[in-house]
Each structure stands twice: as C-alpha cells, then as structure tokens.
Amino acid sequence: MSDSLSESGFDLDHVDRLLTTTRAVRKRLDLEREVSDKLIFECIDLAEQAPTGGNDASRRWMVIRDQDTKNELGRLYAEVGTLFINARGHLDGTGHPKERVVSSGAYLVENFSRAPVLVMCAIWGIHDNSGRPGLFDSAIPSAWSFNLALRSRGLGTAYATMLNNKSDEVAALLGIPSGVTTLVCFPVGYTCGHEFSPAPRRPASDITYFDQWGFTRNRPSIDGSARIEDGPGVVVEIDTDARPKAVWEVISDIGMPARFSEELVDAEWTSDGDRGIGSTFRGSNSIPDVRDWDTNCIVTAWKDRETFEWRVTDAQKPGAIWRFDLVEQGGGSRLRFSMTIGKENNGTAPRALKDPSQESEILRTRRLIHKANMQRVIEGVKGLVDG
Ligand SMILES: Cc1cc2nc3c(=O)[nH]c(=O)nc-3n(C[C@H](O)[C@H](O)[C@H](O)COP(=O)(O)O)c2cc1C
C-alpha cells in the first residue's frame, strides 16, 4: 500500500499529478498517431459524471474526424486566431511573460485541422443571463473532466474556445440546431512524452479569503478562527486602464499613495540613492484625536513595474508587511495592495493576544479599518492614473 493513500483510498501521488500536470497541450500533440473512438467514448463517459444544474442531461458531444470538415473548422479557427499569429510576430524573442503561450497558441492556429480528432462539447440551451443553472455552468465541469480523462490515458488537448466567435458558421457546417450552444472544441491527440510540469500559480493563501472579502491568512488556522499566529492579512485590488508603467510611477513614489489613506498621512524617503531593497522611508500619522505614530519602513521587495513590499519597524520582526503587486491585465493593469499584521511591533498583536476569546474579533475590526483605507488608496491611485 502506498504511503500516499488518502482517507478515501485514493493514491494522492497519482491524483495530484493528474490535477497539477494537465496542461494545455499544443506543440506536443502527436499529429500522426490515430486516436480510437473507444478512448473518446471512455473519456466522454468519465466526463459525463460531472455535475449538471438540475441534473438535466443536456450536454452533447461531437467528434469530428472527416478531414474536409476539420479543414473548414481549422479555417474558421484561423480567422479568429490571426491575433495569435500577429502577437507572436511581436513577442518572439522578447522574453515577454506571454511569449510562450502566444507562440503555442499560434502553433495551434496553424495546425488545428491536423489534430487526429476534434471533440466539441455543446449543451442544449442559449445563455440568457437568467441566472438559472445550466448551460455554460453545466458544460464547463464536464469539459474539464474530459481534459483530465484524456491526460490519464496519454492523450492531451487545449481548451480551445475561439470557435465560439464563429458559432453560426460552425452550426451551419456541423448541422447543429438553433437552441444549442457550443462551448469548446478540443483538438485531441496523444501527447509527445508524458512528463508535464505544474504551472506557476498563486498559492491558495494569496487568493483565499476568510469570512470577509480580502481577509487572508498565511497559514491554515488550527480551529478555523483568525489568529495573529497565522499571519492575518487584507487584500484589495483594482483594475486600471493605465498600463503598469504609469501605475508604478504613482505607487513607487511612497508619498503619493499615502495621501489617500486616512491613517498613513505622510511618508518620505529617508535613504539616499536608487530605490530598491534596503531603501527606507518614514511614515507618520498626525490626524487630530487619532493615535499619533511615526515609524520606519524598510523596502524588502522591489521589482520595477511589478512589486513593492515594505516592512514596518523591523525587517525581521515586522509590525506589518505591506505590498503592492502590479500585473498587466487586458491592456491596462491590475493593482493589488495587501498587508499582513505582524506578531509584534504593532498595536494590534498585544491586544489580540491578551484574550484568545477576543482575538478573532479584534483582528476583524482592525482589518475592516485597514481594508477601507487600502480601498481608498487604490481608488485614489486609479483616479490619478486613469484620470
Ligand atoms: C475559458 C478558456 C478559454 C481558452 N481558450 C483557448 C483557445 O481558444 N485557444 C487556445 O489555444 N487555448 C485556450 N485556452 C487555454 C489557455 O490558454 C491555457 O489554459 C493557459 O494558457 C494556461 O496554460 P495551462 O492550461 O497549460 O496551465 C483556454 C482556456 C480556458 C480556461
């Protein structure tokens, strides 16, 4: 028996490998090796175990093997896919973060019709924004199960949706009646080799919020309640039309974001030279009737146009860790502003630790104040860069 058997009897090494290495396969599709109907049936049967709204059996699958039909689908796919081909021309050799996916996507555009088999997942119904379950929501879980089933059997595919922009032409070509929505057309083949790596993704602790939108914890809590020990934090995010360069100019000039916050009213650099890891600045608050403070901050991460992190008071024993992260998003930027409350060197930890029965509530109240302030900061930054 494997050490990795779960309580329910699954070998987690295998299950986790399947879940973490089912990648979008394009350049590594074996375009020469035939794929049997038997395997396709098997994978669709597995996929059909996925949930469906109201338990309606409304999903339908199409398997396309006829080369003329595949060519026509390939032609339609390429009409939409010119954006990949053009983008590849711009990005090849630049080291841009999207260079690989664009090159891979462009390859698929050029070879779509050469996949040994195309499998389309469709569902009875038209998305009417009624909020009722079904339609896309019922098709997507099974479409992903189909991917997993393929991978487990040495096959691969990419979740190709661009034909959705040509749904009328696709329906005419394949004789699909009105009232049916097609969602994804999988180019299926054996994979060249079976080793695939997990993708770099954000850890759960960054993107999982507990009890209140934006409330994070760095570590799992022992009893589910918020505790200083677990690194409680807050995240706020905003999308801007402005590109990362413009947003970075505002957030990296520490006095600018500070002026939108009600707590940190003033901040100025106290170190000379280029800004970067090890630079310091002083932040202070002198709002009447509010606790006055004045604190040193040390920059602990700095990547131009991407990341700016600083620790309050002491880099090893920070009172808090604050951080801006910036990514390009849909032609603009997504700005993420986050903070983690430290175990010492702040006003919150001693209060929270004094009475464990109050710890969670004290952290909640403090974080609601942080969240409101941080929201003001990102909205202020957006106002500046988009205004
Ligand atoms: C909703 C959705 C639509 C997608 N559409 C396409 C597509 O039209 N063409 C394509 O080549 N890949 C498409 N993909 C695959 C993504 O590009 C791919 O999942 C992503 O680059 C991450 O790669 P990975 O799955 O290997 O981690 C789509 C994925 C999803 C979830």
101 close to ligand 1 (CB < 6 Angstrom):
yes
Q: Is the pLDDT of residue 291 over 90?
A: no
Q: Name which of 337, 352, 372, 346 is nearest 250 in CA terms.
A: 337
Burial of 325 (0-12, 13-18, 19+ CB in 10 A): buried
CA 88 to chain centre: 23
From the centroid of its chain, how far is CA 188?
25
CA distance 44 to 110: 26
Q: Does the beta carbon of 332 sit less than 6 angstroms from any atom of ligand 1?
A: no
Q: What is the pLDDT of residues 95-151, one digit of tens each?
A: 888 899 999 999 999 999 999 999 999 998 887 766 655 567 788 999 999 999 999
Judging by DSSP bridges, how do beta strands 29-30 and 320-329 pair with one another? unpaired
Work out the average pLDDT over 39-43: 98
Helices (H), strands (E): how many in the chain? 11, 13
**Mean pLDDT (the chain, rounded):** 92
* Among protein residues, the one whose CA lies closest to atom 19 of ligand 1: 24
Residue ranges in the chain assigned as alpha helix (H):
12-21, 37-47, 67-91, 99-111, 135-152, 167-174, 204-207, 244-251, 255-258, 348-354, 356-386
Q: Which domains does the chain have, with CATH numbers?
A: 12-191 (3.40.109.10), 204-386 (3.30.530.20)
**Looking at residue 376, what is its pLDDT?**
94
1 has pLDDT over 50: no
List the single range of 19-23, 92-96, 170-174, 260-264 with lowest mean pLDDT. 260-264
Task: Kindly give the distance from the C-alpha atom of residue 213 to the centroid of ligand 1, in angstroms, as a whole number.
Answer: 27
Q: CA 348, 323, 362 angle in degrees (round to 5)?
A: 20
pTM, entire model: 0.89
For residue 55, what pLDDT is reported? Answer: 79
Q: What is the predicted pLDDT for the residue at 288?
A: 62
* Confidence band, pLDDT 50/70/90 cuts, at residue 286: low
Q: Is 183 in the pocket of ligand 1 (CB under 6 A)?
A: no
Confidence check: pLDDT of 258 > 80: no
- Counting residues of the chain whose pLDDT is more than 70, the rounded percentage is 94
Number of Cβ atoms within 10 Å of the Cβ of 105 = 21
Q: What would the pLDDT profile of 152-173 be if each residue is shown by its tens digit?
A: 999 999 999 999 999 999 999 9
